[in-house]
Structure 1
C-alpha cells in the first residue's frame, strides 16, 4: 500500500478506528513512541482499552523531569502494558560530555543538536528497527511547521509509515479525554508545560507564547524541533 492509499484508507476515521486498522493489518509490526505527555497518554489508554497488539517504547535520555518518571511509573501501574526504554549509547554520550561538559548544549545550536542526536535520534533508530508502522501523538496545531504535515506520512529516514491518530484533535479534546477517562498525566502540564522534553531544555510557557516556546528557549524561535519528527514527504 502506498502513502496515498493509506491517506484515503484512514481519512475520516476516529483515533480508535485508526489504531484498530493498524492492529488488524500490522499486528506485531507497529510500534508507538511515548514521552508520557497528554497526547501520548491518550493513545496509551486506547491501546490498553482495546488490547491492540502495538508495542510501546520511550526514549530514556537520562535528563527527564522527575515528574515524567512519576507518570511513567503510574502508567505502568495502571495499564498491563510493557513500555521498553531505549537509552543513549554509553560511549557516545561519555565522549560528548567529556568534550562539552554536562551542559554544553547551551553553548551552541550545534552542540544542542549533537546532544539530541545522541540522546534521542540514535536510540530512536534502534527502537524503530524492524517495524513498518510508527504511531505518534503528534497533533496539527502543536507548532507551525507541523501544520504542513498529514496524519499519515512516509518517513524516508527510518523507511516506515508514520501515523498520527490524534492529528486533528484540539488540545481541549485531549484534556477532556484525559479527565473523562481518568488517565494518568504529567502534572507539569498543570504548571504551564504544554510540551515536555528534557529538564534542562524545557521551561514553562508564559501566557501568549507559542506552544513550543518553552523548548530550547535560548535558541531561534522559528523551527524548534529536535529531529525526531522532521517533515518528510
Structure 2
C-alpha cells in the first residue's frame, strides 16, 4: 500500500501491507514506529493505556510526537488508588494530551444486581468483558488503529507480536512499538527521564490491573503471576484473538 493514500483501514490493509510495513520497521526504534504510526493514521490513531510502566514510556514518547494525542484509560472503577494518583500526575506533566477516562455502561452496583456480587471472582471473563472489552470497543469507534504497550517477553501469548498487527477482535490495526524491549529497558527509560510511575511497582507489582484481581509477585515469578492468581485466566481479553466458530 502506498503511504500517499489517505488513512488506511482494517478492511483495506492487506496481508502484504502488514508484511511490508513490519519489514520496513523491523530495525527502527520505538519512537520511529510511533512517529510512523501517527504519520500514517493521523487522527485515526488512539492509545489505550493502562498506565503501567510500559504505558508511562509510551505516553512520554507519544507526547514527543503528538502532544495533543488521544489516550484512553479503561476506568473499571476497580483500580488501585495509586493508579488514579499516577494519572493525575501524568495529566499535570502532559497537559495537552487528551486523556479520556472510559467507563463501563454498568456501575458496580448495577453489575452486582444483574450478575451477583464480586463478579470478578465467580465469572472473571464476564467481568472483564463488561468493564474492559466492551468499553474499549466503544472508545475505539471512529478510529482505524490503536497503540498498545505489549512486549514479546511478557508472556508466551505475546511472543509473536509484531510492530503492526491485524486485530480481528476489534476490527482494527494494532501498533506495538515496544515489542523488542525488556523489562530493564522500560525502567532505564523511566529513570533516565525521571518519569512518574505507579508506586505499586516498588512493592513487587510488575503488572497492575484492577485491585481485586492483582497481587504482588514473589521473587523469580513471572511478571503476570499476580494477575488473576489462582485462576486459569491470564489475560483480560483485550489482546486475545477471537475464537472461530469451530473453536
| Fold similarity call, TM over 0.5 | yes
Match of 1:206 among 189, 204, 218: 218
Matched, 1:6 2:21: yes
- Unaligned runs of 5+ residues in structure 1 are none
Match of 1:227 among 200, 224, 237: 237
Match of 2:88 among 66, 73, 88: 73
Give the deviation of 1:99 after TM superposition.
4.1
CA distance in 1, matches of 2:90, 2:169: 30
Identify the residue that residue 167 of structure 1 maps to in structure 2. 179
Identify the residue that residue 125 of structure 1 maps to in structure 2. 137
Identify the residue that residue 188 of structure 1 maps to in structure 2. 200
Identify the residue that residue 54 of structure 2 maps to in structure 1. 39
Identify the residue that residue 22 of structure 1 maps to in structure 2. 37
- Unaligned runs of 5+ residues in structure 2 are 2-16, 243-247
Identify the residue that residue 156 of structure 2 maps to in structure 1. 144
Q: SS of 1:203's equivalent? A: coil
Task: Indicate conservation of the 8 Å contact 2:68/2:98, yes or no.
Answer: no
Q: Give per-residue Cα distances to partners, 1:54-86, cap 9 Å, x unaligned.
A: 321110000000000010000001112120111
So what's the TM-score if we normalise by structure 2? 0.87
Matches within 5 A, 1:82-97: 82-90=98-106, 94-97=109-112
Q: List structure 1 runs of 4+ shifted beyond 4 angstroms.
A: none
Give the deviation of 1:52 after TM superposition.
5.2
Q: SS of 1:217's equivalent? A: coil
CA-atom RMSD, angstroms?
1.8
Q: SS of 2:159's equivalent? A: helix
Q: SS of 2:43's equivalent? A: coil
Match of 2:64 among 42, 49, 58: 49
Identify the residue that residue 7 of structure 2 maps to in structure 1. none
CA distance in 1, matches of 2:62, 2:161: 24
